[in-house]
Structure 1
Amino acid sequence: LTMATLLRLPTLPLTATVARSAQRPGSRTLAHSPVRPSRAAGPGRSVVAAALAPNLPTNSDYGQPSSSDAPPSAPIRRKVSARDFRHPLDQQNTQLLQAIPGLSNLTKALVTPLAEQMLILEQLSTSILVGPKQLPHIHQLVLDAAEVLDIPPPSLYIRQSSQPNAYTLAISGREPVVVVHTALIELMTEAELQAVLAHEMGHLKCDHGVWLTVANLLTLGVEISPFTPSFLVGNLQDNLMRWVRAAELSCDRAALLVAGDPKVVVSVLMKLSGGCPKLAGQLNVDAFLDQARGYDEASNSPLGWYLRNAQTRQLTHPLPVARAREIDEWSRSAEFLALGVTPAPTPSGITDGLSGIEV
C-alpha cells in the first residue's frame, strides 16, 4: 500500500446520522428466527484521509438517528448481516479494507499459533468454561444470542475479578473466546447479561478483531514512514480511535437485536457507569437517558465541544451517556424499525437479579 493509495480513501465523520445510513443503497430488512423476549423483568471518516481534513467536532456526537412513532412490524425472520447494524463509520472503513485482496488472511497469519494457544491455555487454567454441564442456563444465553446474530457460538469463560468487564478474544480465525468477569454477573440481570454477551458477539460478527488490527498496522506503517508529516500522525491516531469507538456502537446495536428492548442495553451501560449490586434495583433507565440529554446540552457550545473532544479523543469506548442516547435513538429510527424487531416491554426500574447464580 502506498501513501497515495491511503490518501485516496473517502471520508465519513463519526457524526454522520443513522438516518443517512438507513437510506444507503442495499439496506435490507432482516429475516431470522424470532428474537426471544427478555427473561428478566428489567431493562466517516477513514483513518488516513480524515487526517488531512480540518479538525471538525466529530467527537461531539455519535449519530442522530431519525425517529419514528410507527410500531415495529415483526420479529427478525432471516439471517442477520453485519451490514444491518454496523455504525456508518465502522461500515465504511471496513469496506475500504475489505476491498484490498488478501489483507484479511495476511493479518490472521501475523498472529502465531503460539500466541493463540497461550491465550486459550490462560483461560482454561484460570477461568470456568461454561457449557451444557457447567452453568447450562448461561450457556443457553450464549446459544440463543448466537442464533439471533447467525454466528457459531463462542466459548464462554467466567473469570474471577472485582472489575465488571467482558471482552472477546478472536485470533487467526479459530474458535473465538468471550470472557466475562464475576463482578459483571453479580451486577446484571439475566437479560442484561445476555445483552453483554451479544455485544461481544457483535465484535465477532463484524470481524473487528481482524479489521481493526489491519487499521492499527496500516496506521503504524504510515507513522514510522520518514515521509509522513508530523501533523498527520496525531490525526491518524485520532481517526483510528473514532473507528474503534464506532465499532463499539455497532456492537451495542447487536446487543439490542438480541435483547429486543433498548432499556435492557441502556441499563447495562448505566450499571457499568455507577451501579452496584446493592443499588441495582433502585436505578432508573429513563433518568439515565435524561442525564445523557443533559450532557449533550451542557456540551453544546464551542467551549463545551472542545472539552468534550478532549475528554473522548483517546477513549476506546464512547462515553456511557453517549452510548445510551445513541442506542435509545437508534431503537426508534427508521433503520431499526425496518429490521422488524418487536421490543419486549420493560419497566424503567430493575429489581430482578440473575437467579441461580452465586459467585
Structure 2
Amino acid sequence: MAFSRLPLIGLKANDFRHPLDREATEALKQLPGLDLIVRQLLGSVGEQFFYLDNIASSVLVGDRQLPELYQLLVEACQVLDLELPQMYVRQHPIPNAYTFAMRGKQPFLVLHTSLIELLEPAEIQAVIAHELGHLKCEHGVYLTLANLIVLAAGQLSPWGAILAQGLQSQILEWLRCAEFTCDRAALLATQNPRVVSSVLMKLAGGSPSLSPHLNLDAFLEQARAYDKSSSTDLGILLKEAQTGQLTHPLPVLRAREIDRWSSSKDYESLLQKKGKMGYDGETEVTGEWRNW
C-alpha cells in the first residue's frame, strides 16, 4: 500500500512542544544540584552498562536486518527532519519502547517484540516517531536520568538512592509532560490522529487477539468522559493521586490531547508552513507496507 506525507522541512522542537513540557523543563533547569545527582546516578549504574547490555541482548535494525522496520524509521526521520539514530528490537513480554541519548555516542531507540506484535505497521511508525520526538526536543540528559531512575533504582548506592528519591517526583512530572510533546511528534510523522490514538488504545487494553475488535471511536468517547469526570475539585485530587508516580500520562489523557491538537489551527498551520518549505508539487515520502 503506497502512502505519501510531506516532509516537514526545517521543523524545530519549539514548533510543536507542548506547553506543559516547556513549563516542566524550565522548572527542572532551576533545580539545584542536578549535576551532582546525575554524576551519582551515572557513577553507580553507568550509561555504558545500558549501552553495552542493549548491544549484547538486542537486534540492530538495518536495511539487511528487519528492513520493514528500518524503512519505518527512515520515513519518520525524513518527515520530522531528523538524523537517523540506531534502532534495536529486544525480546520482552511487556509492550514498550524507549530512547537513550548518551554523551558522545549515537542515540538509539529500542522496541520490544511484544509491542511490535500488538501494533499495525502505521502504529509502529507512530511509536518510532514518538521516540524520535525525544531526540528532536533534545530531551537527552533528563530522559536518560529518568530511564536510569526507572530501570535501575534498585542498583543505586544508598547516597544515590536518596538523591534519586528526592528527584523522582519532579523528574516523573517532567517525563509525563515530555510524553505529550512526543505524542505530537508521532502525529506529525503519521499525519493521522486516529493512528496515534489507536496505539494508545491498544496499550491501554489491547492484545494480539483483542486488538482487531477494539473500537477507536468508543475509546475517544471514553477519553472525553474521563476529562469531564475529573474536572471537579475532588476529581482533580484523585487524578493527581492516580498519576503522581507514573512515568507516562494515562492513555485516555494522551488520546484526548492528540484529539484536541489534531483539530487545532496550530497543527494545521504547522503542516502547511513546514510542508510547503520543501514542496515542489512532486515531493512525497514513499514506501510500501508489507505483511509481517
Shorter chain as denominator, the TM-score bin is 0.7 to 0.9
- Structure 1 vs Structure 2 CA RMSD: 3.2
TM-score, normalising length: structure 2: 0.77
Deviation at 1:154, TM superposition (A): 1.4
Q: d(CA) in 2 for partners of 1:92 and 1:309?
A: 17
Partner of 1:170: 101
Q: d(CA) in 1 for partners of 2:211 and 2:13?
A: 32
The count of aligned residue pairs is: 258
- For the 8 Å contact 2:13–2:137, the answer to whether it is kept is yes
Matches within 5 A, 1:106-185: 111=42, 115-185=46-116
TM-score, normalising length: structure 1: 0.64
Aligned-pair identity in percent equals: 51
The counterpart of 2:190, out of the listed 259, 263, 285, is 259
Answering whether residue 176 of structure 2 is matched by residue 250 of structure 1, we say no
Partner of 1:290: 221
Partner of 2:122: 191
Deviates more, 1:187-196 or 1:149-158: 149-158
Residue by residue over 1:236-279, the C-alpha shift from the partner in whole angstroms, topping out at 9 and shown as x without a partner, is 76554332211000000000010110000000000000001112
Q: d(CA) in 2 for partners of 1:143 and 1:76?
A: 12
Deviation at 1:316, TM superposition (A): 1.4
Answering whether residue 139 of structure 2 is matched by residue 208 of structure 1, we say yes
Q: d(CA) in 1 for partners of 2:75 and 2:267?
A: 20
Which is higher, the Rg of structure 1 or of structure 2? 1
Q: Which residues of structure 2 form unaligned runs of 5+?
A: 148-158, 276-288
Partner of 1:279: 210
Partner of 1:82: 13
- For the 8 Å contact 1:37–1:259, the answer to whether it is kept is no
Deviation at 1:310, TM superposition (A): 0.9
Residue by residue over 1:11-41, the C-alpha shift from the partner in whole angstroms, topping out at 9 and shown as x without a partner, is xxxxxxxxxxxxxxxxxxxxxxxxx648xxx
Q: d(CA) in 2 for partners of 1:244 and 1:79?
A: 25
- Report the secondary structure of 1:338's partner residue: helix
Partner of 2:260: 329
Q: d(CA) in 2 for partners of 1:214 and 1:120?
A: 14
Q: d(CA) in 1 for partners of 2:99 and 2:17?
A: 18
Deviation at 1:307, TM superposition (A): 1.3
- For the 8 Å contact 2:7–2:78, the answer to whether it is kept is no
**Distance change in 2, residues 1:191/1:213 (3 Å):** closer
Q: d(CA) in 2 for partners of 1:172 and 1:239?
A: 23
- Report the secondary structure of 1:277's partner residue: coil
Partner of 1:6: none
Q: d(CA) in 2 for partners of 1:204 and 1:274?
A: 28
- For the 8 Å contact 2:96–2:111, the answer to whether it is kept is yes
Q: d(CA) in 1 for partners of 2:235 and 2:10?
A: 42
**Distance change in 2, residues 1:291/1:99 (3 Å):** closer
- Report the secondary structure of 2:270's partner residue: coil
The counterpart of 1:91, out of the listed 5, 18, 22, is 22
Partner of 2:236: 305
Residue by residue over 1:297-323, the C-alpha shift from the partner in whole angstroms, topping out at 9 and shown as x without a partner, is 222222222211211122111110000
Q: Which residues of structure 1 form unaligned runs of 5+?
A: 1-35, 39-74, 225-232, 343-353
Q: d(CA) in 2 for partners of 1:306 and 1:323?
A: 19
- For the 8 Å contact 1:80–1:149, the answer to whether it is kept is yes
Residue by residue over 1:166-223, the C-alpha shift from the partner in whole angstroms, topping out at 9 and shown as x without a partner, is 111111141111111111111100000000001011111112122456899xxx99x9
Partner of 2:278: none
Point out the structure with the larger helix share: 2
Residue by residue over 1:132-156, the C-alpha shift from the partner in whole angstroms, topping out at 9 and shown as x without a partner, is 1111111111111112222221111
**Distance change in 2, residues 1:138/1:76 (3 Å):** closer
Partner of 1:21: none
**Distance change in 2, residues 1:173/1:93 (3 Å):** farther
Partner of 2:285: none
Q: d(CA) in 2 for partners of 1:89 and 1:293?
A: 19
Q: d(CA) in 2 for partners of 1:138 and 1:339?
A: 27
Q: d(CA) in 2 for partners of 1:169 and 1:237?
A: 18
- For the 8 Å contact 1:295–1:321, the answer to whether it is kept is yes
